[in-house]
C-alpha cells in the first residue's frame, strides 16, 4: 500500500533533522578544534614521563601456577581452567594469524596448551584449519558468527548511516566507510561472549593477526586472573580519536542518570574524565578523556560482560546507534564500562608481557624478553608518544 504524501514528507524531514544533529555533533566548535589541533600543543598539557618499563620487570605478585604434566595437550590437561585464546580473523589473514600464533606458542602456550577458538563471519577454509592446527599442539576450534550477531540491526537507518559515513570521512576517521569494521566493533563490544562455543568458557586472551609477543611467560595467566580475583588485563592504554565517538559519553551519562546504583565505589572515573592532559580530546568527546585499554590485547573474565549491569549498558548503547552512525569501538566501550562499573583494583597491567601491535609496544626490561627495546612505546612519529594514556591510569588507578 502506498504511503501518503504528507507521511512521506514528515519522514523525510525527520531524517534530515537527524543528519543535521549528527553534523553539529561532529563539526569542530567555532573552527578551533579540528584534526590538526589534536596534534598541536593546545591538546597536550602533560610531560613525557620516564617509562616504568625501563625499570627491571619481574612477574606479578600473587599466586602463580607453573606448568606441569597436568597441562599436557588433550584430555591429560586436567590443570587447565575454562579459558581460551580467542581470535576474530578472516581466511585471507592466515599468514598474519600464523605469525601471532607462532609468537604466543613460543613464549607461553606451548607450556599450557590452552585451546584456540577462531571466529569468522563465513566458514573457515580447509587451508586455514590445516595450517593453524599445525601451528599448535593445543585444540583448535573454528566457529561461524551467527548472522543475527553480525548483520546491521534492524533499527539502523541506511540513509542516516550513509550520511554519517560522509561526516566521519570528512573528519579523517579511519575505516569509517567499511561496514564490516562497524560490525566488528559491535560484535567485540557486546556479542562475542554470547556465542554458544563460549558458553562453558570464563576467561579469554584476545589475539589478533600480525601482532608480536617478545617475552617468555612461565605462569598460567588465566590461573593468575582467577586466583588473584582479576577481571581484566591490558598492556597498552591510549587516547581515542574524539571525532569517532562524540556521543558515546553523553549516552553513557544518560545511562548513569537512570542507573546511578551501578557505579562502583572504587571506580576509575578520573581516568575517564580527565581533561588536564589532553583538553581538546575531552572537549571534542563531550567530557570523555578518550582514554581506553587497547583491546587488540585483552585477557578478561567474561562474567563481567555477561553481568546484568554490562548487558544493560551495552543494550543502551546499541539502541543509540553509535556503532554505525559514529565509529564506536570496543576499546572505549569496554574501557568505560570497566572504569565505571568495576573495582579498579581488579584491573591488571601485564607489564611483563612484551607485546606489539603496530605502531605501539609494551616492552619490559626483563632477561625473559628478546627483540623488544625496554621502555619503547612506538617506532612511529614522535607525536604518537602523546597518545599514551598509561600515565593517567597510573595517576587515577595504580601500576599493578
Rounded distance between C-alpha atoms, residue 286 and residue 279, angstroms: 11
Q: What is the DSSP string of 268-312?
A: -HHHHH--SSSHHHHHHTTS---EEE-TTSEEEEHHHHTSHHHHH
Residue 117 host element (H or E): strand 116-120
The three grid cell numbers given for residue 311, joined into one nine-digit string: 548487558
* 376: nearest Cα among 53, 44, 48, 46: 53
312 included as an active-site residue:
no
Task: Tell how far CA 279 is from the center of its chain.
Answer: 23
Count of CB atoms situated within 10 Å of the CB of 346: 18
Catalytic residue among 298, 326, 342, 387: 298
Place of cell 579469554: 204
Rounded distance between C-alpha atoms, residue 132 and residue 128, angstroms: 6
The three grid cell numbers given for residue 154, joined into one nine-digit string: 534492524
End-to-end CA distance of the chain: 64
* 185: nearest Cα among 150, 210, 217: 150
**Contact (Cβ atoms closer than 8 angstroms) between residue 249 and residue 333:** no
Active site residues: 298
Amino acid at each position: 500500500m502506498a504511503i501518503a504524501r504528507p507521511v512521506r514528507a514528515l519522514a523525510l524531514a525527520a531524517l534530515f533533522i537527524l543528519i543535521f544533529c549528527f553534523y553539529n555533533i561532529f563539526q569542530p566548535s567555532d573552527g578551533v578544534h579540528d584534526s590538526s589541533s589534536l596534534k598541536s600543543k593546545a591538546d597536550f598539557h602533560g610531560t613525557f614521563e620516564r617509562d616504568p618499563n625501563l625499570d627491571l620487570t619481574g612477574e606479578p605478585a600473587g599466586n602463580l601456577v607453573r606448568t606441569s604434566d597436568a597441562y599436557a595437550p588433550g584430555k591429560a590437561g586436567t590443570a587447565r581452567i575454562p579459558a581460551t585464546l580467542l581470535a576474530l580473523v578472516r581466511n585471507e589473514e592466515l599468514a598474519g594469524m600464523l605469525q601471532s600464533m607462532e609468537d604466543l606458542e613460543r613464549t607461553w602456550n606451548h607450556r599450557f596448551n590452552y585451546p584456540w577458538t577462531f571466529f569468522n563471519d563465513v566458514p573457515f577454509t580447509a587451508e586455514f584449519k590445516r595450517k593453524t592446527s599445525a601451528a599448535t599442539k593445543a585444540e583448535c576450534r573454528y566457529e561461524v558468527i551467527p548472522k543475527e550477531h553480525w548483520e546491521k540491526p534492524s533499527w539502523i537507518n541506511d540513509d542516516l548511516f550513509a550520511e554519517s559515513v560522509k561526516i566521519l570521512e570528512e573528519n579523517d576517521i579511519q575505516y569509517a566507510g567499511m561496514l564490516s569494521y562497524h560490525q566488528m566493533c559491535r560484535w567485540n563490544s557486546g556479542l562475542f561472549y554470547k556465542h554458544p562455543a563460549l558458553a562453558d568458557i570464563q576467561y579469554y586472551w584476545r589475539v589478533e593477526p600480525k601482532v608480536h609477543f617478545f617475552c617468555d611467560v612461565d605462569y598460567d595467566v588465566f590461573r593468575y586472573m582467577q586466583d588473584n580475583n582479576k577481571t581484566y588485563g591490558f598492556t597498552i592504554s591510549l587516547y581515542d580519536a574524539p571525532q569517532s565517538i562524540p556521543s558515546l559519553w553523553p549516552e553513557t551519562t544518560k545511562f548513569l542518570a537512570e542507573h546511578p546504583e551501578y557505579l562502583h565505589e572504587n571506580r576509575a572515573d578520573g581516568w575517564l574524565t580527565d581533561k588536564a592532559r589532553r583538553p581538546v580530546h575531552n572537549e571534542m568527546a563531550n567530557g570523555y578523556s578518550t582514554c581506553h585499554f587497547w583491546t587488540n590485547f585483552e585477557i578478561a573474565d567474561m562474567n563481567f560482560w555477561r553481568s546484568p549491569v554490562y548487558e544493560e549498558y551495552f543494550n543502551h548503547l546499541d539502541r543509540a546507534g553509535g556503532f554505525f552512525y559514529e565509529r564506536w569501538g570496543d576499546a572505549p566501550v569496554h574501557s568505560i564500562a570497566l572504569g565505571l562499573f568495576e573495582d579498579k583494583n581488579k584491573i591488571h597491567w601485564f607489564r611483563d608481557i612484551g607485546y606489539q601491535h603496530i605502531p605501539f609496544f609494551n616492552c619490559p626490561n626483563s632477561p625473559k624478553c628478546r627483540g623488544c627495546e625496554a621502555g619503547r612505546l612506538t617506532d612511529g612519529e614522535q607525536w604518537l608518544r602523546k597518545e599514551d594514556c598509561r600515565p593517567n591510569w597510573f595517576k587515577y588507578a595504580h601500576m599493578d
